[in-house]
Structure 1
Amino acid sequence: MNLKQALLTFLENNLFLKNGTCPICGKVLFATDRFLCHQCEDDLPIISTPTCVQCGRPIFRANREVCSPCAKLNLPFAVGYTHLNYEDSGKKLVHAIKFKDRPHLGIWVGTQMGEAIAKYQWINHVDLIIPVPLHPHRLEERGYNQSEKIAEGIQQGLSQKHSRVPAIVTDILIRSRDTPHQIGQGREERLCNLTGAFNVETIEYIQNKTVLLVDDVLTTGATLAETSATLLEAGAAQVCIATLCAVAE
């Protein structure tokens, strides 16, 4: 760690709140009600191009409703929303939420997601919000589930636009088998690792319910496919997805 980073870490840990520095550029934030500096917030790669109706991934070809992965694969979720492209500051934001002990960032950006999702008609049919779970070992190591924090923010954002807000439930979908980090793995490897990794408890609670499944990053879609299939097999009527970031098709 160089001297500048050591000084910023000292300031953050001892003089400022947890959002004392911008997680993207490291600039000290004296207005502690902010979570990113003005420049980095303005530069977030919010998806503005047409998006896939099924997963929310950006589409760069005209006259298409679904992205290439969704067109090629029989994915079990019905519709979806993605907030950021998984590049540059989007990657840094996810890294800070997951590995830099900044769960409040997940809530903050999740609130923005909720406000955006409120504009979609399908959200009116959602009964439950379920974050993709961590295995207990990973949860103990990290101290929180980043997807749960994002879900909390989504719920807050929705509450600003709707009187009916779905409940967040974290004890129905369970990660019963720990799996290695999936970074650098292809879709087949990810699917193999995830097969049988999730199960549903209290099945009666999701019978005929429409679920909004929340995760941090959409890459191959393997995690969301496996969790969606698990919920549908247990009796859910439909699964929608919301992800903070997506890798472009």
Structure 2
Amino acid sequence: MQPAAIHPDLQDRSVLISGGGSGIGAALTEGFVAQGARVAFIDRAVEPSEALCERLSDGARHAPRFIKADLRDIAALRAAAAEAAELNGPVTVLVNNAARDDRHRIEDVTEEYWDDNQATNLRHHFFLVQAVVPGMKAAGEGSIVNFSSISYMLNQGGMPSYTTAKGGVVGLTKGLAGELGPFGIRVNAVAPGWVMTERQKELWVTEEALSEMLDRQCLPRPLEPADMVGPCLFLASSAARGVTAQVLVADGGTQ
């Protein structure tokens, strides 16, 4: 994947990405590596993450670093953030990408399922921010990009806990932007449409479902993980230095 634009200020930046080993996260990892950033990413899956690091290391200014952790485990999350800072210097770009859009019916949701789903899709956003903010404050700058989803905007059924979390990401983004702005830290969100990751293709993409979605998009082509890279790089870079508390919707014009 070739970068659509080069952001010189991202070169040598310490970037931390959650869920950076596959899907949209892998595309984001590749995008920041292509900018010459010092990238560390957190993921649970060892094999694809190590393969990604091997693939991206050849010719890279800085080889990406994989940190294995379960983001539901706050102690492990904090340790991972500390390791990223030790490897690459204080994190000044944080991308909260990790999520899991499992389908679930209202009648099947237990307290335990709800709490685990929120821990997977929302809670870690806050605690990763908490972990890296001291370094950003010391640097006098920082950019945080949280990944939401248009699913909560579409009145989409079949996954109420997930859509609650994705709506919550927007509320968290705006609240953090207000609190962290005085320290030169910007906080924004990207809200993707239906992106054709391998997970989506394996579990939910059918010819009928894809056709229905494309009928709703202004752009008549499936969205790919690479389509999320440009918006994220823009928000992370000084090109967006006056942008905070915003949600950049990247959904192909879904209506």
The question of a shared fold, defined as TM-score above 0.5 by the shorter chain, is answered with no
TM-score scaled by length of structure 2: 0.32
Bigger helix share = 2
Larger Rg: 1
TM-score scaled by length of structure 1: 0.33
